[in-house]
Amino acid sequence: MRKPFIAGNWKMNTDSYTSVQLAKDVAHGLEDIAGHPVDVAVIPPFVYISAVVGALSTYQIAVGAQDVYFEHKGAFTGEISPAMLKDIGCAYVLCGHSERRHVIKETDELINKKVSASISGGLLPILCVGELIEERKANKTEEVVKRQVEKGLAGLSPEKFSAVTLAYEPVWAIGTGLTATPQQAQEVHSMIRQLIAKLYGNQLAQETRILYGGSVKPDNAAELMRQQDVDGLLVGGASLSAKDFIAIVRASV
């Protein structure tokens, strides 16, 4: 059985006070289910990660980063390495989030380097994939997602791949209030799992967690989580409300 994994991507939100407050509110609200089989992570902006790690030091809530660079150190002005993230207590890192693909124009090749470097640096990457609305309408969802998964994982050995979580986030569902139906999510998740089985064998495919993201809310979380191949949720907007994020975690255990 795959352990549910709920992660809150705060994106470019919060400040030095509200990031710590939000982390503490989430931690307090989940205290009574601390022993339950669910992994929870929050993903603040880089500059608040240390403060949030400090606030969560006595709780079983992991902290992640929203991005990373693939080099270890050196003359890469403005970038942050996997080693730096590890050093300040990050466990997870998002790679290839749709806003980085489509706003910042990251390529599959760059994302692949980030995934690989993250694992080498001791982080657990969450590789995000998902189609644009035009691609879905043109029946290209499978082709696009397949390409993003294959290129994102290119060259990874099975040992390295076992550190990876995948996240299917249809771009048209992110921040729009339009959630994929549970059936639409299941269909793509199942396709991704079959692809992983082809690339890495059935056992690793069965062990790999595939999260769904895109307008996840307290009232649609349980139904999404009931789908056989939906193993967790990557929550954006709703993770900025402690109450909503807590409700989503509770709906998932």
- Contact residues toward ligand PGA (CB under 6 A) are 9, 169, 174-175, 213-216, 234-238
- Rounded to a whole number of angstroms, the minimum distance from the CB of residue 9 to ligand PGA is 4
Candidate list 143, 169, 187, 223, residue with the active-site label: 169
45 CA to centre of own chain: 14
Question: Which H, E and C letters describe 147-201, residue by residue?
Answer: HHHHHHCCCCCHHHHCCCEEEECCHHHCCCCCCCCHHHHHHHHHHHHHHHHHHHC
- What letters, b where the CB count within 10 A reaches 16 and e where it falls short, cover 148-174? bbebbbeebeeebbebbbbbbbbbbbb
Cα–Cα dist 93/164, whole Å: 10
- Rounded to a whole number of angstroms, the minimum distance from the CB of residue 17 to ligand PGA is 22
- Rounded to a whole number of angstroms, the minimum distance from the CB of residue 199 to ligand PGA is 24
φ/ψ of residue 238, rounded to 5:
-70, -15
135 among known catalytic residues = no
* Residue with smaller CB distance to ligand PGA, 81 or 233: 233
* Residue with smaller CB distance to ligand PGA, 131 or 169: 169
- How does strand 124-129 pair with strand 232-235? unpaired
- Rounded to a whole number of angstroms, the minimum distance from the CB of residue 235 to ligand PGA is 5
User: Which residue is at the shortest CB distance from ligand PGA?
Assistant: 236
Cα–Cα dist 149/128, whole Å: 9
Cα–Cα dist 229/21, whole Å: 33
Candidate list 79, 97, 134, 159, residue with the active-site label: 97
131 among known catalytic residues = no
- For the record, the structure tokens of 4 come out as 């549910």
Which residues form the catalytic set?
97, 169
